[in-house]
Structure 1
Amino acid sequence: MDAYNALSQLFIMLFAFALPSITTLSSKPSDDHKCELVGTFSLFTQAFLGLLCILSLIIKRFYEYPERRTWQVWFFDVSKQIIGAMGVHVFNLLLSILKAQPDINVAKKKSDDCYENDDCTGSPCDWYFLNIVLDCTIGVYVLYLVLRFVSFVCKKYLHVTQIESGEYGPNPHRPSVRAYLKQLSLYFGSLMVTKFVLYGLVECFESELLWFTSNILLSWLNEYPNELEIFIVMFVVPVVMNCIQLVLVDNFIQNQEMHQKNLQYSHSRGHKMHMKSRQDEENLGYGSTT
C-alpha cells in the first residue's frame, strides 16, 4: 500500500505541474483557431498522457493477488502495448491531419463548397477524438478477436512456438527475449489489422461520424480557446479512455493461467465478504428477538 500511496501522490503532483501549462493561452494569436496536433502544447499534452497511462498499469500490477507478475514479465507485457500505442498514435495523427485536408482526401473528392470548410472535412481534433473513441471501445474487442484468430492460425497451421501471450519460459525472473519478440510481432500485426478495420468503418460512415463528433460531441468547445479543445480532446478523453483500454488489453495479453487464478481469488473473496455482510445484517436484525 505504501507503493500505491506513493504512486497516487505522484499522479497528483504531475497533474498539478501540468495545470499551469494547460491554462496558459498561446502567446501567438491565431487567425483560423484551428486545432493543431503537432504544436508544442499538443506534444507536451501527449507526453503527459503517455506517462499517466503507464502509471495506471503500474498501479494495476500492485492489485494483482495472490500471484503477481515479476517486474521483468510485467515489463515485457506492458512494452507490447507501449510499442503498439506508439504505432497507433502515429497512425492516428497522420490520418487526422490528412483527413482534415480537403485537397488530400484519402477516400473521395469534396465539392468546391466544402473546400477548407471544417463542417465537411473536420478539424484534426475532431478526427483524433473520433479515432480515440473507436480505438478504446469497439477497437478493443476487434483486437481481441484478431489476436485470437492470428494466434490460432500461427499455432495450428504454421506451427509457430512460444507465442502463448504472457508466457516467456520457465524462469519469470529471466524471461525469454525470443518468445517476447515473437509475441510482440504477433500483437503489433494484430493491432495494425485492427486499425485498418476501424479505418474501413470510418470510411463507410465518414460523414455521419464526423457530423456527430463535430456538431454534437465537440460543438460546445467552439467558443473556448484552442488550448481547451486540445486539452479535452488530447488529454481528458484519452487519459480516461486509454487507461481503460490499457487495463482491458493487459488482461488478455498477460499469462492467462495466472490471471484466471487472481480472478477466482477476487471472486471468492468478494463472495465471502458479501456473505459475511449479510450474516452481520441478519444478526443485527434479529438480535433483539432472541
Structure 2
Amino acid sequence: MNTTKIGNQPVGGLHCSKDALTDVFGWFLQVLLACLAFTCLIAKRFCEPRSERRSWLIWFYDTSKQGMGALAIHLANVWLSGQYTGDPCTWYIINFLLDSSVGLLIIFIGIRLSQHLSKRKGWEAINFGEYGVPPSMNAWLAQCCLYIGLMVIVKTCITLLMQLNFWEGVRDFILSPIDNPKVELAFVMLIIPFFVNILMFWVTDNFLMHRKSRTKSRRNSLEQSLLHKVSLQYRSVRTERNSESDILLSGDDELLDTDEPVHRTSMRTVVA
C-alpha cells in the first residue's frame, strides 16, 4: 500500500509514528485498557443473579479463555498495523473494529458449532462452559485451545478482508480531524476500545458461560415458591395449635381455680 504526499505531509495525516503503538506511552495505554476490561468482567459476575452466580473458579475458567484470545488478537493487530504503509493508528483501529463485529460473528458460530458437536458426538471436553463435577482442568485446557483456534480463524479472515483496496479510503478518512499524535493514540488504544470492549466482553462471556435452561430455572423457581408456601402454612398451623393449646391450658387453670371453692361450699352445706 502506497501513500501519496502533498508537500511533506501524507494524505490523511501521518500522525502516529511507526513505533507509536509499542513505545512507553503506547504500552501504558494497553495495560490500562486490559485492567479496565478485567474489572468489567468482575462487575459482570456480581450482576448475575445469586441463584445462578458462578463460583470464582468457574468464572476464571470462563474469562481466562476470552482473556488469552483477546491478548493474542491484540498483539497480532499491533504487529500487523506496523506492516502497512501509513498511519499505524488508523490501521489498528480498523482491524480492531472488524474484530469486534465480523470477528464476533465468527466466534459465535464457532462456539455454537462446538457445543452442537459436543452434544451430538459426546465430546464433553469441548462443550464451552461445562467442566464437569468437580471442574476439570483438562476440559478447561481443551476449550482454551479451541478458543485460540477460533481466534486464529478470525484473524486470518480479517487479514484477508483487509487486502481490499476499499480500506485505503477508510484509512484516509478515519481519525482525520485529530492532529495530535498522543490524542490519536489515546483514542485508538484506550477510549474507543474501552467502550467497544465492554460490549464485546459482556456478549462473549455470555457465549462462553454455561447457562441453565429456562425450564430448569422455572422449575427451580416453582420449587422454591412451593417450599416457601409450605413453610408458611406449617408456621400458621403451628401457631394455631399453640394458640389452641394455650386456650385449653387456660381453661383447665380456671376449672382448677373454681373447683376448690365449690367443693368447700358443698361440704359446708352437708355439715350444716
Compute the TM-score of the two structures, normalised by the length of structure 1.
Answer: 0.64
Give, in angstroms, the shift of residue 251 of structure 1: 0.4
Q: Secondary structure at the match of 1:76?
A: helix
**Alignment correspondent of 1:131:** 95
Residues 151 and 186 in structure 1, CA contact (< 8 A), matched pair in contact too? no
Stretches (4+) displaced over 4 A: 150-157, 258-263
Give the residue type in structure 2 aligned to 1:164. N
Q: 1:45 aligns with which of 24, 29, 41?
A: 29
Q: CA deviation at 1:213?
A: 3.5
Q: 1:114-153, aligned counterparts within 5 Å?
A: 118=86, 123-153=87-117
1:220 and 2:177 aligned: yes
Quote the Cα distance in structure 1 between the aligned partners of 2:142 and 2:106: 21
1:84 aligns with 2:84: no
The match for 2:131 is 168
SS in structure 2 of the partner of residue 219 of structure 1: coil
1:88 deviates by 0.7
Answer whether contact 1:61 1:69 (CA < 8 A) is retained.
Answer: yes
Aligned pairs for 1:18-37 (under 5 A) are: 33-35=15-17, 36-37=20-21
**Counterpart Cα distance in 2 of 1:245 and 1:239:** 10
Give 1:95's aligned residue.
80
Percent of residue pairs bearing the same amino acid type:
32
Offset of residue 149 of structure 1 = 2.9
C-alpha contact 2:45 2:53 (8 A) present in aligned 1: yes
Give the structure 2 partner of residue 60 of structure 1.
44
Q: Match of 1:162, SS?
A: helix
- Give unmatched runs, 5+ long, in structure 1: 1-31, 101-117, 266-290
SS state at 2:126 partner: coil
Unaligned runs of 5+ in 2: 1-13, 221-272
TM-score (norm 2): 0.68
Alignment RMSD (CA, Å)? 2.5
Q: Deviations over 1:162-213 (max 9, x none)?
A: 2211111123xxx21011001111111112111111222222x3x3223224
Task: Name the CA distance, whole Å, in 2 between partners of 1:260 and 1:214.
Answer: 52
Bigger Rg, structure 1 or 2:
2
CA contact (8 A) 2:114 2:127 kept: no
Can you list the C-alpha shifts for 1:74-100, whole angstroms capped at 9, x where unaligned?
A: 011110011111111111111111123
The DSSP-based 3-state class of the residue aligned with 1:166 is: coil
Number of residue pairs the alignment of both structures matches: 204
